[in-house]
Structure formats: structure tokens, C-alpha cells
Structure 1
Amino acid sequence: MFDFLKAHIWSILIGLNYLLALIAIVVILFKNINPTKTLTYILVLVMFPFLGLLVYYFFGQEYRKNKIFNRKSILNKSVVKRVNHEFILDKKDLKRLDDFLDDKIRLVRLLFNSENAPVTKHNKVKILLNGKEKFEYLFSDLKKAKHHIHLEYYILKDDNIGSELIDIICDKALSGVSVRLSFDDVGSEISSKSKRKLKDSGVEFHPFMPVLFPGFTGKMNYRNHRKIVVIDGEVGYVGGINVSDNYVNYKNGESFWRDTHMRIEGEAVKQLQLHFLMTWDFVSSSNLKITQSFFPETQVKQELAVQIAASGPDTDWANIMEAIFVAINTADDYVYITTPYFIPNDQIITALQVAAKSGVDVRLLIPKASDSWTAKYATNSYIEKLLEAQVKVYRYTNGFIHAKTIVVDDIFCTVGTANLDYRSFNINFEINALVYNSKTSLELKSQFLNDLKDSEELNLTDWQNRPSVNKIKEAYSRLWSPLL
């Protein structure tokens, strides 16, 4: 028997591989997911023995249907229910917002109906350009904290800027401020020395879905891509800038990193707080007591409407993708999009093409140089069809642009963590601030036009004549696009 197994080991393993692959294919077909994604998984399972099973195990699980964690323990808290109830706008406020937004009021209703995400009325926002400006404001606010500091980051490294952040929050913890830190276990790199310092200072910290343990490795691909800071429940931060020297352009002479973040004061901070607490409830299992001190009354009287949109494997709907889809479809004059990774689904591609062909000024800004070879060529595979539909496509040439912003018609804009790709729409935990305000929208529009000065516009004829080898790379990379 042993000799038989030894002599036919490869045949047995190949047979077992395709038996498991067949079972996986049946499961995929019954899920009724996007046909392109279905075909991609089937091709990978059939054409790449063993590797295909690993890819499906790590990337193919549908956690939107099988929730990663249950948020009801937080949402059912009486304090949280009271906070959410206070944001329900009366008919007069809704009428004023409807008059201002016109068709874009559909965004407000969409997110409220899908995720019970209320629009908040009293806010102040500050657009922060690049890491230097973001960290100057953030560190100043952190040093003023009196009650609590909540931080949630995809990337946190204890390099120069990360060590400075760690020093500040450790000092605040030692002074009696409650500090809670959640970081993604795949994206972050924190040394044992820094972790000891955090622990000794009284900072509570937990990795998001650690991958060192076998029970979690199957979820390695489902990462927390959010960047949230909440200070005393009064000041919040959200956007594209992580905690790493890459984001602050410390190293002279190396590629410039262009990014955008947002500082918020007012009622929308309570929604950022809520999303932090739901994550904290999952990563810590500490049964933290939710009190009104996490949701203080705002002193902001300025009227500026902000809605916080969150999505991830734990949500019933792809909220951010749907919001972007509606924003494009309701545009009358223009849609200006900046994203570092553009690997969209069919819905977004169609929306962009239809808007452009209908006379809307649709412009897309992406990096020329990417930090991912496969993502770069997958992005390039979509460009020709956009150019044919009269979408104006620009590539940023002054380094790497990592900002994730959209501006529509001088009245709506969004800054957040979500890219325009499959991963952000369906896999990662993401969060965006949607702002319904002319001044903020015009500010982001101005910055978009400034970024175009450091960019090259693509021409359809020239693009069609690009080298054939590039087209082959694009075709190969696009095959993997649902998995990137």
C-alpha cells in the first residue's frame, strides 16, 4: 500500500486537487456573484493546480453574507441609539437640503436606507494636503486631548513619524487620558520594543485580525483599510494618509507622495466614533462600557452637511461603491476623480462612460508610477474604453498620488480611504466622509486642477499605439483584477 501511494503520489494529489476544485466551483456558481469574478476563480482553479485552491481559500470567501463580526452589540446600546436618533433631520431641514442638492439628495437617502447612516448638519471640515500638514494638525490635537484618544489605522510603522505618534499617545496615556489603538496586522509593522512602550504607558492596543494563528489565516485578505482618529469625541480625522515615513516625504530626492486627508469637528465625529467603537468591540473583546462621554454635545454651530459612509465584509451592501455610483449618475456638469488604484467593476465603468457621453466633464487622475506592477497594468487595461467614451484620463507624474477624492458639480465631494477597485468595494473595511457643501467642494476642485498641472493627459490615438507587450501585460493583469 505504501509503495503504491509512493509511486502514484502526484496522481493522487492532482486528483484530490481537482476534486476540491470541483467542489469550490459548485460553491462559486451557487453564490451567483459577478460573472467576471466567477470566471476568474474558475480559470484559476482549473489552470493552476494547488495554487488555485490557495487563492480561493484566501481571496474567495464571501464575508458579506457570512458576517465577520456582529455589530449589534454596539448598535443596540442605548447611548448609541440616542446619538443616532438626534441626527434624524426634520422635514424643514430635509427640504432645505433637497433644494440645495437637487438629485444628489438621493445620496443621503441611499446611505440612510442601506446603512442607517444619517446626514449630520453642524460640522467644520479642513482639507489637509499631504502628510506634513496632516500630522502637524493631528499631533497638535493629540497633545490637547483630555478624556480619550481613539486611533484606527491600516498602516502604522514605528519609523520616524510613527515613533513620534507613539511617543505622544504614550505621554497622554501616562497623564491619564484613555488611549485605544487598533492597527491592521498585515499593513502595520510595530517592533516589540514599541509594543512594550505602549503597554507600559497604559495604551490599550489590538491588531485587527492577526494572521499568526491558523484560525485567522483564511481571513488574511480581509483587511481594515480605514484611517480613523477621534479625540475626546470632538475632533475626527479620516482620509488616505497612514502613519509611515512614506506619507510625509521625509527622504529628500525620492518620489513625492501626494495625498489628501480631512479634519472634522462637529456632529460627524460621532459617526466616526461609532465606527471606531464597533471595530474596537471586535478586536478587543473587552466589553467596553459605552457612555455619553464618547459622544459629547458639539459646540459647532456652523451648518455644513456631512455623512459618514462605511463599508466592508460586515455590511449588507457595498455602501461606498453605491454612493460613488449615484454621485456619477446624478452629475450635471462634472465629475473629478482622484484614485491611486483604478480597477473598477462594470457598474462604475458604465456610469463613467454614460456620464461622459452625455456631456458631463468626467476626469480621472491616476498615478503614472505605481507601487504595484499588477495593479498598474490592470488599471491601464481600462483606459482605452474610457478614452473612447470621452472620459479625460490624466496620469500624475510628480511622484505617486495616493489621494482618494471625488468632486461633483461644486456641491458634493468625498474624502476617504476607498479606492475605485474591487478590493475597496467588496473586500476591505473602508470609510469615507461625504460632504454636501460648495466651499469644500470648490476647494477640492481647485486642488484637483492644481494636480493636473503635474500630470499628463492621455490621448486616445497615442494610447492605442502603445507597445504590444504592454497590452499583453494588461490582459494578464486584468485577468486577476477581481482578486487584486
Structure 2
Amino acid sequence: MDVLNYLWWIVGIIFTISVASVSIIIFLENRDPAKTIAWLLVFILFPVSGFIIYLLFGQNIRKKKIFKTQKLLLELKSSNTFKSIKEFENLVAIQKNAITENLLFDDEGSFAKKRIMNLLLNMGRSPFTLNNKIKILTNGEEKFNELANDLENAKDHIHMEYYIIKDSQIGRTIKEILVRKAKEGIDVRILYDDVGSWRLWFKKSFFDEMRKEGVKIYPFLPSLLPFLNRKINYRNHRKITVIDGKIGYIGGINIGDEYLGKSKRFGFWRDTHMKIEGEAVYMMQLTFLFDWYFSSKTLLFDKKYFPRLGFCGESIVQIVSSGPDSDWEAIHQAYFTAICQAKKRIYIQTPYFIPDESILMALKSAALSGVDVKIIFPGKPDNKVVYLASLSYFKDILKAGGKVYLYQKGFLHSKILILDDDISSVGTANMDMRSFMLNFEINGFIYDKQIAKELLDDFVKDIEDSKEITLDEYINRPMIQKIKESASRLLSPIL
């Protein structure tokens, strides 16, 4: 018995030292104060489980530079496989000068566009492209019909990168097309997130059958013990398809039957995706090839992945990637800048709303200054804790004069931002700290009045299928609801 007590005493000392050490590390990392306090609170309230949660979700991988993007850039510069890296850098410099010298826009109303474009050039090295045709897709049926047709017509390669791929009816339909194209000699490559697509851990035949037919498939940040992986908190949330380097798809729709309205829990699934034909596809391709290299250690930078294009359209697009491998939170900071520049309206659709203080303050300030701030949010949650935490932030928006709507028709998964008359964003990033700071995301920033109008028309239709929350209703909600929301909000910095 004395030996057992002695062992417990030793374990207790080691554990106490470990928790104390981690607390000191968190403190010295100079994180956001809210995150530091949240983690310390977790350690105090849940000393054992809190320590385990930190090992899985809390480590600052961005600072530890686990993702060696800079190393890849050096390899590319020293190789002959992609000589246009230098041209790419020159293009960024030329575009900065064009914005500064008012060579692209010279009207008074273009100030916000120039600020956002220049910010993204400086931070994310994201050049804008002028030759683009865009088609907005407002649900899974529209997206998959377009996608299937374009996949069938692929002539050289198909690159797909998704957070979630399910062995579902639509998953098997796409699988059949990809296998058939691989047999025709088309290069087919798939990247999937190992955690987002966890259901396929139990259906390995889904990918194995494709691999046997020549489809190249790699998981992103795989682990033999996925739930005991310290990188589990950093997920590839991107949804990209690139076909022949000419056609690209980007937005919120993964590959699963729920996006076709077949979810028994939610029914109709409202989402927004975007089909692009034009030079913006080059940037989507570049993002895919970087991620492919990271996952497969195979360098693919042949000219055929960036083919010459004729005239496609006149939409100006900046494709912006962000994640823990970059020095800047590009999408986060672009959203903040955009919100601060708004003069007429800020319309947001997001399934999760956990803003940091900067975004929240920008939205409140905009609403108080007379900007029309509207947010459409799901009326039914898919994640209860995140949902409750999100609801707790709406009081500030409502008090400032903004409007909040709960979508009633089904589940709202759309991730869009509409700013004034000619700036919009469609992509994979939610309006929450996880998307802004932890996940690998990709968004398209579009500077086009027609696209902004299409998104605005869809937004107005969605309001008709939503219930507005008034400030009085919000204030008078049941006390138990307020307690649940407040408790969930305490965890919001680490959700």
C-alpha cells in the first residue's frame, strides 16, 4: 500500500510540474489574452482532462513552424520545374504599383477595393486576376451537376481537395467518374482531410478501389492514432477542384449527400459555391500543388498545370489562402479591413459566428455609424456548444443596430461576405476564430458589381426563409438559455 501511495505521489508531482510548465509556456507565448485565460481556466476546472485537451488542441503550431512552406519556396526557386515563381513575385510588385498609382481604379468609390487588394498583396502574396468568368452555385444540386459535367470533359488532369469526402451516393457517383477518367489516362489526384473524412477510416475500400485504378490519393496530416495527434487541431478545411488548370470550384460544399438535401436531421442544405473559369484558377492550382507537395512530398510544377487562356470574362478575383503555415492571418485581416471600409452594407452568412474582439468591434462600429449590418445564421445547430457560443455574440450586434436572422428552411452552411455594391467573398472560411487562425482555408475575393448583386439577391431570398431576432426577444430569452450561452462563450477562444 505504501508503494502504491508513493507511486501516486510521484505521478501527482510529475503531473503538477507538467501543468505548471505548460501554463508558463502559454503565458510566455504572448497569445491573445482571452485564449491564455481560457486555457488557464480549463486547467483549473479540469486539471487532468484539460491537460490532455491542451496536448491535442492547444499547441501553437503556427509559431513552431511545423509546416515548412518557406522550405518549399526555396526548393522551387532553385529548381527548373517552375521558373515563373520569380515572375509571380514580379507580378505582385507590379500590381502593388498599379494600385498605388491608380492605374487599375481611378474613381472615388474604389478606395475600399484598393485597400483590400493591397493588403492581400502584402500579406498573402495573392495577386489579383482580371480575366475571369464566375458562376454562383447556391446548393449542392447545382454544384454537383456542374462539377460532374466538367469532370466528364477533363482532358489532362483533375485535382480535388476536400475537408469531407463521404462514401455516399454523390461520393460514389464522383468516384465512378474519376475512375473512368483515370482509365482514360487523365491524371487524377485527391487530397482529403484525415479528420474531416474520418468516416472513411472504417471504409478503406472507398479509396483503395480508386487507387487500384490509378487515382492518386493522399490524406492531409494523417495519424495512426488520429484522436491522439497533436496536429488534430489544424485541419485542411479547403474545398477545391481544378480541372485542366482552366476551371475551378471553391466554396462551402463538401462531398456528401447532406449537401443534396438528403440529411434526415436538417433536410434542405443551403450553401454557396463558386465556379470560376479564368486566371484565378491558377491561384487555386498553386494552392493545391503546395498542399499536394506537403502531403505527398511530390513536386508538381509543370507548365501544363498553368495553361494559356483566352478571354474568359471581366471579373476581378483574388484567391486567398490562409493557415498555420503562413505568417499572416490573411482572410481574417482581409475581413477586418473590408468591414472597416464599408459605407453602405455588410451582409454575412456563416454557420458559426465566434468573432474575435477586432471583428466584433468592427461590426459594432459599422452598425453604430449607420452601415446596414445583417447576419444570417442557422436556426438549427449542427454543433451545440459552438452554436450556443455563437448566439452569445449577437447581443452586441443587435444593441449596435445590426440585424440577425435565423435560417428556418433547413441548415445554412453558406460562407459569404457582401460589402457595399461591388465587393464580395465566397469560400471555405467561417466567421470564427478556428477558420481565421487554425484551419487551412481558401476564399475568393471578388470585385464585381454583377456578382455582388447575385449574392445580394440570394441573401434577400434567404431572409424570406429566416426569422429575425429582435433585441427584446434576445434580452428576454430564458435564464437557462443565457447560462448555457455564457458557459459556452467562455470556451469560445479554444473552440
TM normalised by structure 2 equals: 0.93
Structure-1 residue corresponding to 2:165:
156
Structure-1 residue corresponding to 2:67:
69
Structure-1 residue corresponding to 2:32:
34
Instruction: Please state how far the C-alpha of 1:304 moved relative to its aligned partner.
Output: 1.4
Residue identity matched to 1:51 = S
The whole-number CA distance in structure 2 between the counterparts of 1:449 and 1:304 is 23
Deviations 1:320-364 (A, max 9, x none): 010000110000000000000001100000000000000000011
Say if 2:317 is the partner of 1:306: yes
The whole-number CA distance in structure 2 between the counterparts of 1:42 and 1:234 is 49
The whole-number CA distance in structure 1 between the counterparts of 2:105 and 2:398 is 35
Cα 1:25–1:132 shift into 2, 3 Å: same
Structure-2 residue corresponding to 1:406:
417
Q: What secondary structure sits across from 1:406 in the alignment?
A: strand
Unpaired runs of at least 5, structure 2: none
Cα 1:5–1:430 shift into 2, 3 Å: farther
Matched residue pairs, number? 481
Structure-1 residue corresponding to 2:442:
431
- Select which of 103, 112, 119 maps to 1:95: 103
Say if 2:420 is the partner of 1:421: no
Instruction: Please state how far the C-alpha of 1:78 moved relative to its aligned partner.
Output: 1.6
- Select which of 133, 147, 150 maps to 1:124: 133
- Select which of 83, 86, 97 maps to 1:78: 83
Say if 2:298 is the partner of 1:291: no
Residue identity matched to 2:104 = R
The whole-number CA distance in structure 2 between the counterparts of 1:11 and 1:448 is 61
Cα 1:254–1:301 shift into 2, 3 Å: closer
Deviations 1:202-234 (A, max 9, x none): 000000011225898110111100001100000
Structure-1 residue corresponding to 2:150:
141
Whether the aligned pair in 1 keeps the contact of 2:131 and 2:279 (CA below 8 Å) is: yes
- Mean Cα displacement is larger for which, 245-254 or 263-272? 245-254
The whole-number CA distance in structure 2 between the counterparts of 1:16 and 1:34 is 28
Instruction: Please state how far the C-alpha of 1:103 moved relative to its aligned partner.
Output: 2.5
Whether the aligned pair in 2 keeps the contact of 1:170 and 1:203 (CA below 8 Å) is: yes
The whole-number CA distance in structure 2 between the counterparts of 1:271 and 1:98 is 26
Whether the aligned pair in 2 keeps the contact of 1:153 and 1:182 (CA below 8 Å) is: yes
After superposition, residues 181-200 of structure 1 pair within 5 angstroms as: 181-188=190-197, 189-190=199-200, 191-200=203-212
Q: What secondary structure sits across from 2:28 in the alignment?
A: helix
Deviations 1:52-91 (A, max 9, x none): 1111111111122222322242553423433554564473
Structure-1 residue corresponding to 2:179:
170
Structure-2 residue corresponding to 1:211:
223
Whether the aligned pair in 2 keeps the contact of 1:83 and 1:295 (CA below 8 Å) is: no
Structure-1 residue corresponding to 2:51:
53
Whether the aligned pair in 2 keeps the contact of 1:223 and 1:429 (CA below 8 Å) is: yes
Instruction: Please state how far the C-alpha of 1:201 moved relative to its aligned partner.
Output: 1.0
The whole-number CA distance in structure 2 between the counterparts of 1:439 and 1:289 is 36
- Select which of 249, 255, 261 maps to 1:243: 255
The whole-number CA distance in structure 2 between the counterparts of 1:302 and 1:323 is 24
Say if 2:274 is the partner of 1:262: yes
Instruction: Please state how far the C-alpha of 1:145 moved relative to its aligned partner.
Output: 0.6
- Select which of 8, 21, 24 maps to 1:23: 21
Whether the aligned pair in 1 keeps the contact of 2:56 and 2:228 (CA below 8 Å) is: no
The whole-number CA distance in structure 2 between the counterparts of 1:400 and 1:134 is 17
The whole-number CA distance in structure 2 between the counterparts of 1:374 and 1:106 is 36
Please give the root-mean-square deviation of Cα atoms over the aligned residues, in Å. Answer: 1.8
Residue identity matched to 2:220 = F
Instruction: Please state how far the C-alpha of 1:252 moved relative to its aligned partner.
Output: 7.5
Instruction: Please state how far the C-alpha of 1:11 moved relative to its aligned partner.
Output: 4.2
Aligned sequence identity (%): 43
TM normalised by structure 1 equals: 0.96
